[in-house]
Amino acid sequence: MITLGEYIVKNQAEYPNASGELTSLLSSIRRAAKVVNREINRAGLVTDIIGGSNGSENVQGETQQKLDVFANDMFKAALEARGEVCGIASEEEDHFVAFDDKRQCNAKYVVLMDPLDGSSNIDVNVSVGTIFSIYRRISEPGEPVNIEDFLQPGVNQVAAGYVVYGSSTMLVYTTGHGVHGFTYDPTLGSFCLSHENIRIPEQGSIYSINEGNYIKFPEGVKKYLKFCQEKDADTRRPYTSRYIGSLVSDFHRNMLKGGIYIYPSGTSNPNGKLRLLYECNPLAFMAEQAGGKATDGFRRIMEIKPTELHQRTPYFVGSSKMVDKAGELMAQYS
């Protein structure tokens, strides 16, 4: 059995120039994930303290759950505590946060995160997730971080990952050398290697989309859904529809089984719902590292140059052949 800590250290040894900062940063994330996991497990018992709405909204006008705020505080504190991160941006913060003691000012990494994705599912005991993305800063060490450090295209990511708090809790990450998954053993208090080098099947048979919004979808998406539902023995259609409404869980299932997740534009949300920096880029990096693809229907997600922190984008991610087919129909009809 190999724990996440051992695995990270073992792989660091394979990079002679590595300074250990990324290793230490990943340890901070791992530690915060354990605390958040503990609170999520208790959420049904102590709803007055950690369950339910916080009574406030985030910068995007969405209701914040108490656990959203708790998870944000935990990850922020864990990342601030050591000296590898000079600033963070989070779905739950209005602006980026600069860590400005001397050691942090000299640090080379920034972290962008969605501390608790799908949090509206907690009250009904459905799995939720944390998504994170790590970049090397652009500004000079020693200076305070600035907005350009955060507005980098996804191709610049150094590492990314997610934690899925599900029937088991798992931490899955990439540093650009494949995607590796670790399952949390609560009796040991450790994440243990369970899924080394995950590969997403290039063709799956699951499609995940909120079909309640059908009427507002672009024509290309409507045509793709029709394609998914038609009978064809060669391509094993019709496909199966699976939508949890918790991105990390839908993505995780599709990574393991093969499938496509789509959150397209709609008439009321022209850029879809999902955030480019906190959700789409990290999962795109993971998908590509596992052999899959991620687009906005036309362009590769990781090549989009962000213009604002909380920017949204339509999103198509998963098995490469499925994302290609959806892209083909988008180009033809939308």
Known binding-site residues for Mg(2+) equal 91, 114, 116-117, 279
Measured distance CA(240)–CA(48) in Å, rounded? 38
Residue positions in the annotated binding site for substrate? 117-120, 210, 243, 273
Residue pair 245/213 in contact by the 8 Å Cβ criterion? no
Q: What are the start-end ranges of the E strands in 91-138?
A: 97-98, 109-117, 128-136
How near is the Cβ of 83 to ligand AHM at its closest, in Å?
Answer: 29
Q: Give every strand in the sheet of 293-295, ordered side by side.
A: 240-241, 206-208, 260-263, 315-318, 293-295
Name the residue nearer to Mg ion (CB basis): 58 or 104. Answer: 58
Measured distance CA(115)–CA(64) in Å, rounded? 12
Rule CB under 6 A: choose which of 133, 246, 265, 320 binds ligand AHM: 246
Q: Does 90 bind ligand AHM (CB under 6 A)?
A: no
How near is the Cβ of 123 to ligand AHM at its closest, in Å?
Answer: 13
Q: Does 245 bind ligand AHM (CB under 6 A)?
A: yes
How near is the Cβ of 154 to Mg ion at its closest, in Å?
Answer: 16
Q: Does 273 bind ligand AHM (CB under 6 A)?
A: yes
Output the CA angle 20-10-163, nearest 5 degrees. Answer: 80
Residue 245 near which of Mg ion, ligand AHM, none (CB within 5-8 Å, type-dependent): ligand AHM
Q: How many Cβ atoms sit within 10 Å of the Cβ of residue 61?
A: 6
Name the residue nearer to ligand AHM (CB basis): 220 or 264. Answer: 264
Q: Which residue is nearest to Mg ion (CB)?
A: 117
Residue 246 near which of Mg ion, ligand AHM, none (CB within 5-8 Å, type-dependent): ligand AHM
- Identify residues 113-142 at the interface with Mg ion (CB under 5 A): 114, 117
Measured distance CA(43)–CA(56) in Å, rounded? 19
Residue 119 near which of ligand AHM, Mg ion, none (CB within 5-8 Å, type-dependent): ligand AHM
- Identify residues 115-154 at the interface with ligand AHM (CB under 6 A): 117-119
Measured distance CA(279)–CA(276) in Å, rounded? 6
Rule CB under 6 A: choose which of 36, 172, 247, 301 binds ligand AHM: 247
Residue pair 230/175 in contact by the 8 Å Cβ criterion? no
Residues 154/155/160/164 CA torsion (nearest 10 deg): 60
Q: Does 294 bind ligand AHM (CB under 6 A)?
A: no
- Identify residues 202-221 at the interface with ligand AHM (CB under 6 A): 210
Residue positions in the annotated binding site? 91, 114, 116-120, 210, 243, 273, 279
Give me the residue label for tokens 């899959």: 292
Number of residues that bind ligand AHM (CB under 6 A): 11
Q: Does 62 bind ligand AHM (CB under 6 A)?
A: yes
Phi, psi of 56 (to 5 degrees): -125, 170
Burial class (CB in 10 A: 0-12, 13-18, 19+), 16: exposed
Nearest Cα neighbor of 28 from 98, 114, 132 is 132
How near is the Cβ of 68 to Mg ion at its closest, in Å?
Answer: 9
Q: Does 64 bind ligand AHM (CB under 6 A)?
A: no
How near is the Cβ of 210 to ligand AHM at its closest, in Å?
Answer: 3
Which helix (H) or strand (E) segment holds residue 193: the answer is strand 190-195
Give the 3-state secondary structure of 75-99: HHHHHHHCCCEEEEEECCCCCCEEC
Q: Does 66 bind ligand AHM (CB under 6 A)?
A: no
Residues of this chain that bind Mg ion (CB under 5 A): 114, 117
Residues of this chain that bind ligand AHM (CB under 6 A): 62, 91, 114, 117-119, 210, 245-247, 273
